Amino acid sequence: MEQTATPNAVASTSLDRTHPTYTYKVVLLGNTSVGKSSLAYRYVKNDFKESLPTVGCSFFTQTLCLEATTIRLEIWDTAGQEKYHSVCHLYYRGAHAALLVYDITSKVSADRAKLWLQELEKEFFHDEIVIALVGNKADLAAEREVTTEEGEEFAQSKSLLYMETSAKSNYQVNELFTAVGRSVVVDECWAAPAQGGAAAGPSRGPAPQRPALAAGRTAPRA
Ligand SMILES: Nc1nc2c(ncn2[C@@H]2O[C@H](COP(=O)(O)OP(=O)(O)O)[C@@H](O)[C@H]2O)c(=O)[nH]1
Ligand SMILES: [Mg+2]
């Protein structure tokens, strides 16, 4: 795990100069204990621990190979400050994607995910950030309080990506981050079409006329 004070995305060049590697910031949001740290740990370390240590504002990095490009995801995890609903602006700043995580066995956590979405809406314009709604702990289906349909419908109504996952049983964790990575790349291509080159990814609803990126967001550079 690394610590950083430089959240903004950067473009670097891999050894093969025809394949620049872009770094995108992905923030994890959601109530305490929904499995945010476990999802990051599963994705980056392919492991699961019943109890993960709480470290200060930290991020994991993971390289993701997509069809036409290689990107690096900088996955930011909270230090538990969500308990007090006090996730600060610096945490969000420059984020390209946010994962709104809830626990499928907790209706309360799903309701709170909607509040986290409102927080994000205060910080970002709608098309400025890729947002995925994530119903974690899918392995606990017997204790389910939130149906897949409920999650799906809410996500669709807000044009969010949607996926159920299990950090514990490694269900759809890679798929989640791959879908988010693809969506971010597609968004950046909309923002800077002349510098395109990314493959098409999953859609978040009808293709809109993309507005320019707001200040603080960095589009890929060749
Ligand atoms: N059954 C199950 N437990 C999980 C899963 N993900 C996390 N947990 C457990 O839920 C608790 C909270 O996980 P953690 O990742 O620390 O949540 P965070 O507070 O959102 O970062 C821990 O006991 C984890 O072992 C999952 O997919 N399935
Ligand atoms: Mg945590």
pLDDT of amino acid 211: 34
pTM of the model: 0.81
pLDDT in tens, 101-147: 999 999 999 999 999 999 899 889 878 999 999 999 999 999 999 99
pLDDT in tens, 158-213: 999 999 999 999 999 999 999 999 999 988 776 665 443 333 333 343 333 333 33
pLDDT in tens, 49-79: 998 876 655 788 999 999 888 999 999 998 7
What b/e string do you get for 59-72 counting C-beta neighbours within 10 Å, with b at 16 or more? bbebebeeeebebb
Q: Is the CB of 99 under 6 A from ligand 1?
A: no
Give the closest ligand to the alpha carbon of residue 58: 2
Confidence at 12, pLDDT banded by 50, 70, 90: low
pLDDT of amino acid 59: 81
Q: Is the CB of 34 under 6 A from ligand 1?
A: yes
User: Domain boundaries in the chain?
Assistant: 16-197
Does the 16-197 domain belong in CATH 3.40.1390.10? no
Q: What is the DSSP string of 134-184?
A: EEE-GGGGGG--S-HHHHHHHHHHTT-EEEE-BTTTTBSHHHHHHHHHHHH
**Candidate of 31, 32, 33 to mutate for ligand 1, largest count of ligand atoms within 8 Å of Cβ:** 33
- pLDDT score of 82 more than 80: no
Q: Where are the alpha helices (DSSP H) in 57-97?
A: 89-92
